Amino acid sequence: MPELLPRARSSQESIFARMSRLAVQYGAINLGQGFPSAAPPAFLLEAARRAVGTADQYAPPAGLPALRDALGADLGVDGADLVVTTGATEALGLLAQALYGPGDEVLMFEPVFDIYLPQARLAGATPVTVPLRLEGEGSWSLDLDDLRAAVTPRTRALLLNSPHNPTGRIFTREELEALVALARQHDLWLISDEVYDELYFGERPLSLRTLAPERTFTVGSAGKRLEATGWRVGWVACPPGFAGNLAGLRQVASFCAPTPFQAAVAAALPIARETGFYGGLREAYVARLDLLAGGLRELGATVFRPSGTYFLMACRPGWEAETLVKRAGVAMIPAEAFAANEAPPPGLLRLAFCKSQAELEEALVRLARWEKAGG
């Protein structure tokens, strides 16, 4: 019998899928995987109902023109520079295929969103991580000298995620300017994963593209913005002149993202902007963040407050994700899921607060019960 290649053999169930499966199996509150428990907004669902039956066939690989126009208007970029993808996941995978190859190195920050590592390796490249370090409660610091020291003649690209999953960190203007200077000095591509661009709790994050439009590919996700992660609509805003090539590559991956959902997102984007939907979402999430952070602190956990995303990281030595999902009835993601080279401190976990207030309250009750029973 022929054998599978090692790269296929090494693919395992992700920790996110595993925790969601265990949450169902053990009747746990799922604060693990990052998807909202509420239904998407009514204006999005209505747009989808109208689209099914009218927009059902293949879309152009670069995306429905209506969606590229709506995205262009929303993001302030030329629609011709946009490629619609099957979620941000596919966008990042396509960029890995397009921008790096065997022998290349790709810089990224650790803790690292897990798919960046295999996507770089599948492209034949080597992921090189630069650590964000924990500095007491609430801050993850970046030492720009670490970043500069990680650049080699093989470095091809720098992959940034801000607001950052899992830490919730938002990179400052000064840091972004330093990244751009480094990219220009060494002629690197910049990939900016901005799927949480509307989920921030202070000042609006700066998009890397505004500082280096000539070399930045910006990735976004309708699933994250509009609370419909299963719809699989994402996008890449390319530097001028590159969208055609990327669309050519994506047409051999999955040809196009689901057409009715593209049409629905096209209709929903201006409504979301005009009705202040994102602002409402931020208000709701800050309230849930406060609830969860406060409850965790009462249980003795150290909470690292995020500046964006719908995740927080908390540390409680003795807490262990596998035991908590099975015995306490609360699913979380262990920090090891985001580790490449740095061992996270024991008891460091990522919790998603894109869940209902009732679920968050129940999770805290369960954790308190578990603590009281001796853990």
Ligand X SMILES: Cc1ncc(COP(=O)(O)O)c(C=O)c1O
Q: What is the DSSP string of 184-227?
A: HHHT-EEEEE-TTTT-BSSSPPPPHHHH-TTTEEEEEEHHHHTT
CA distance 114 to 105: 17
End-to-end CA distance of the chain: 49
The answer to whether the bond into 205 is cis (omega within 30° of 0) is: no
Nearer to ligand X by C-beta: 68 or 224? 224
Residue 221 as a binder of ligand X (CB under 6 A): the answer is yes
| 81, 105, 110, 193: residue in contact with ligand X (rule CB under 6 A) | 193
DSSP H/E element including 177: helix 173-186
Nearer to ligand X by C-beta: 197 or 364? 197
Binding mask 100-139 for ligand X (x = CB under 6 A): -------------x--------------------------
Residue 88 as a binder of ligand X (CB under 6 A): the answer is yes
Region near ligand X per CB under 6 A, out of 20-28, 61-69, 82-90, 118-126: 82-90
Question: How many Cβ atoms from other residues are within 10 Å of residue 60's Cβ?
Answer: 15
Q: Under a CB-based contact definition with an 8 Å cutoff, are residues 19 and 333 in contact? A: yes
Residue 295 as a binder of ligand X (CB under 6 A): the answer is no
Looking only at residues 4 through 63 of this chain, which bind ligand X when binding is defined by CB under 6 A? 34
Region near ligand X per CB under 6 A, out of 73-81, 200-208, 223-231, 250-258: 223-231
Spatial CB neighbours of 349, under 8 Å, sequence gap ≥ 6 = 313, 314, 315, 316, 319, 321, 332, 333, 334, 335
Nearer to ligand X by C-beta: 156 or 225? 225
Question: How many Cβ atoms from other residues are within 10 Å of residue 320's Cβ?
Answer: 16
Residue 229 as a binder of ligand X (CB under 6 A): the answer is yes
CA distance 206 to 223: 21
| 195, 264, 266, 325: residue in contact with ligand X (rule CB under 6 A) | 195
Residue 87 as a binder of ligand X (CB under 6 A): the answer is yes
Residue 235 as a binder of ligand X (CB under 6 A): the answer is no
Residue 97 as a binder of ligand X (CB under 6 A): the answer is no
Ordered strands of the 348-352 beta sheet: 302-304, 311-315, 348-352, 333-334
| 165, 192, 207, 216: residue in contact with ligand X (rule CB under 6 A) | 165
| 168, 234, 295, 308: residue in contact with ligand X (rule CB under 6 A) | 234
Region near ligand X per CB under 6 A, out of 58-66, 178-186, 199-207, 218-226: 218-226
Nearer to ligand X by C-beta: 224 or 316? 224
Nearer to ligand X by C-beta: 263 or 337? 337
In 3D space, the residue among 194, 210, 133 whose CA is nearest the CA of residue 161 turns out to be 194
Residue 338 as a binder of ligand X (CB under 6 A): the answer is no
Cα within 13 Å of Cα(48), Cβ side: 13
Question: Contact residues for ligand X (CB under 6 A)?
Answer: 34, 87-89, 113, 161, 165, 193, 195, 221, 223-224, 229, 234
